[in-house]
Amino acid sequence: MLQFENHYAGRLNSGLEHQLTPDHWAAHPLPPPPSYLWAPERKQVLECTMISLFLVLAIGSCLTNSLVPEKEKDPKYWRDQAQQTLKNALRLQTLNTNVAKNVIMFLGDGMGVSTVTAARILKGQLHHKPGEETRLEMDKFPYVALSKTYNTNAQVPDSAGTATAYLCGVKANEGTVGVSAATQRTQCNTTQGNEVTSILRWAKDAGKSVGIVTTTRVNHATPSAAYAHSADRDWYSDNEMPPEALIQGCKDIAYQLMHNIRDIEVIMGGGRKYMFPKNRTDVEYEMDEKARGTRLDGLNLIDVWKSFKPRHKHSHYIWNRTELLALDPHTVDYLLGLFEPGDMQYELNRNNVTDPSLSEMVEMAIRILIKNPKGFFLLVEGGRIDHGHHEGKAKQALHEAVEMDRAIEQAGSMTSVEDTLTVVTADHSHVFTFGGYTPRGNSIFGLAPMVSDTDKKPFTAILYGNGPGYKVVGGERENVSMVDYAHDNYQAQSAVPLRHETHGGEDVAIFARGPMAHLLHGVHEQNYIPHVMAYAACIGANRDHCASASSSGSPSPGPLLLLLALLPLGILF
């Protein structure tokens, strides 16, 4: 009897819309029940079961139909939509080959394709829509490519080696920043002579203003590759460095932030404690020992930062949102904003008095940088997408992704596609997924419309391949209906128990718009990205096309020069 019921229940609860239509059931009738089920003592049970099952079928059919927006039932809706998309695509035949005065790079740390899709649905549901049909700002970018994320010594990469690739144009070893693959992690004596510079440096050398905005520590893996050269991403301050590295002369990343490129116009994020002497009380968390200064060399790097700024320039160090919003960008030449001792708070946990949002930081950064007539380069990292996933907290991760999309929209409203190249990508993915045949409009944090056909327990649509969400209760998988799976800090179930969920190794998306965005067009090695940005902006080593364009009076490099310039580098194929 149980086997028979399960067969019916599996068919009725599969969540597949086509299985709830009369045509499907006519073509694929349920098999007759075994004869033993017709015994008199079982007949009543069977009749009740059949009634309840077909009641579910009827209700399911109604629900399925009600989930479809009325306009989507008309084929004309889909045909008109496709034709408009086609018209938009045909317009792209006229390439934007202008020189990019400005370049903005948005890096969603850990923002794999599954995260992008789930964030899209969440964005729509936050606006009381089903979600699937919603468009993220990055979805509106006309050019999309894929990035191969592996490190030189790792199939599944980390954020340091990948940052070196998409900022410095050179693939590197896992755990190292701003150095080539000749540098071995933790080995200070392999650093010298193997340093590689970033597109931020190239932009600064060309006279552009530059900025870094992140929701992590400003000396974390992603931003540090823009200015530092370190054999270990974890050398945040000298307190985290081994004695032999200090003896050999290596400098911590916070120190390098203040010394390597001294005139970075905008630096915003977390990481306050790495700038102050050991045990220095934090301005915001006076009683928290973990928030105290970490530096063993006794330096106050905020004072160092101030000392490097010309007296006739206006430099501002701030530590809270109130101070940020009070600034007049017209009177700010240099801005250092450190809003937390470590990483910034998750967007869902953010204090609206002390912590600015990513979009607020981006707005202020652009208002300051855009004053330079030569243009600017801005690196923006939505860094805590990655942290949410590592902790198995999908809700935190996805809200971080939605906030980064708001920042992309903010930047787009302040710049023009005619002179600003914007690139959105990720450093790597995560073992994050969602599925289970969920119906249209199902809460992205909700349950699948069925129970497991193995352990008979419900499961959430969102799951991880590994991580801290692996839980066994009474020798069995935890019953998620007994917990608050919609909680901000709920840890989604995982297949393999780990204290921290891992990165994924698949390709990630690159979204691009603006001058030369069409050069991001297929499947690329990750280190190709900064070469495109530099080419578009006429900075870095590959600038012959810019001189030719200038002498001819043309504002753009042109397709032929583009081809000639890239062929010797072997990066077109």
Band (567; pLDDT cuts 50, 70, 90): very low
* The pLDDT of residue 4 is above 50: no
What pLDDT, on a 0 to 100 scale, did the predictor assign at position 59?
A: 37
408, 452: one domain = no
Q: Regarding predicted confidence, which is higher, 450 or 1? A: 450
Beta-ladder partners of 270:
217
Tally of structural domains, the chain: 2
Residue 381 counted as an annotated binding residue: yes
What pLDDT, on a 0 to 100 scale, did the predictor assign at position 67?
A: 81
Lowest mean pLDDT among 20-24, 143-147, 424-428, 466-470: 20-24
Residue 314 counted as an annotated binding residue: no
Residue among 263, 253, 175, 242 nearest 218 (CA): 253
What pLDDT, on a 0 to 100 scale, did the predictor assign at position 91?
A: 86
469, 418: one domain = no
125, 165: one domain = yes
Residue 322 counted as an annotated binding residue: no
Q: Tell me if 153 is assigned to some domain.
A: yes
* The pLDDT of residue 20 is above 60: no
d(CA 215, CA 236): 16
pLDDT, mean of residues 415-425: 98
pLDDT (tens digit, 9 = 90+) per residue, 401-414?
999 999 999 999 99
Which structural domain, as residue segments, surrounds residue 119? 95-430+505-537
362, 467: one domain = no
464, 530: one domain = no
pLDDT, mean of residues 108-134: 98
Band (42; pLDDT cuts 50, 70, 90): very low
* The pLDDT of residue 420 is above 70: yes
Residue owning tokens 């969440």:
122
Q: What is the DSSP letter of 133?
A: T
Residue percentage of the chain with pLDDT more than 70: 84
Q: Regarding predicted confidence, which is higher, 562 or 320? A: 320
d(CA 333, CA 369): 8
Lowest mean pLDDT among 37-51, 152-166, 298-312, 484-498: 37-51
Residue 312 counted as an annotated binding residue: no
pLDDT, mean of residues 159-175: 98
pLDDT, mean of residues 292-306: 98
* The pLDDT of residue 1 is above 90: no
275, 366: one domain = yes
Residue 220 counted as an annotated binding residue: yes
pLDDT, mean of residues 122-133: 97
Q: Tell me if 75 is assigned to some domain.
A: no
pLDDT (tens digit, 9 = 90+) per residue, 211-260?
999 999 999 999 999 999 999 999 999 999 999 999 999 999 999 999 99
330, 197: one domain = yes
Q: Tell me if 563 is assigned to some domain.
A: no
Q: What is the DSSP letter of 464?
A: E
* The pLDDT of residue 204 is above 60: yes
d(CA 262, CA 300): 15
Residue 18 counted as an annotated binding residue: no
d(CA 117, CA 293): 40
d(CA 329, CA 370): 10
* The pLDDT of residue 53 is above 50: no
Mean pLDDT, rounded, of the chain: 88
| pTM of this structure | 0.86
Which candidate in 159, 180, 230, 237 is catalytic?
159
Q: Tell me if 183 is assigned to some domain.
A: yes
d(CA 160, CA 478): 35
493, 509: one domain = no
Residue 503 counted as an annotated binding residue: yes
499, 392 in Cβ contact below 8 A? no
Q: Tell me if 561 is assigned to some domain.
A: no
pLDDT (tens digit, 9 = 90+) per residue, 429-449?
999 999 999 999 999 999 999
345, 374: one domain = yes
Beta-ladder partners of 324:
none
470, 388: one domain = no
Residue 24 counted as an annotated binding residue: no
What pLDDT, on a 0 to 100 scale, did the predictor assign at position 234?
A: 98
What pLDDT, on a 0 to 100 scale, did the predictor assign at position 547?
A: 73
What pLDDT, on a 0 to 100 scale, did the predictor assign at position 66?
A: 60
Q: Tell me if 279 is assigned to some domain.
A: yes
Residue 94 counted as an annotated binding residue: no
492, 352: one domain = no
169, 299: one domain = yes
Planar angle of CA 504, 424, 337, nearest 5 degrees:
100
Q: Tell me if 127 is assigned to some domain.
A: yes
SS3 content of the chain, % helix, strand, coil (to 5): 40, 15, 45
The enclosing domain of 299 has a CATH number of 3.40.720.10
Q: Tell me if 90 is assigned to some domain.
A: no
Cα 234 → chain centroid: 21
159 is catalytic: yes
Residue type, 388: G
d(CA 189, CA 50): 75
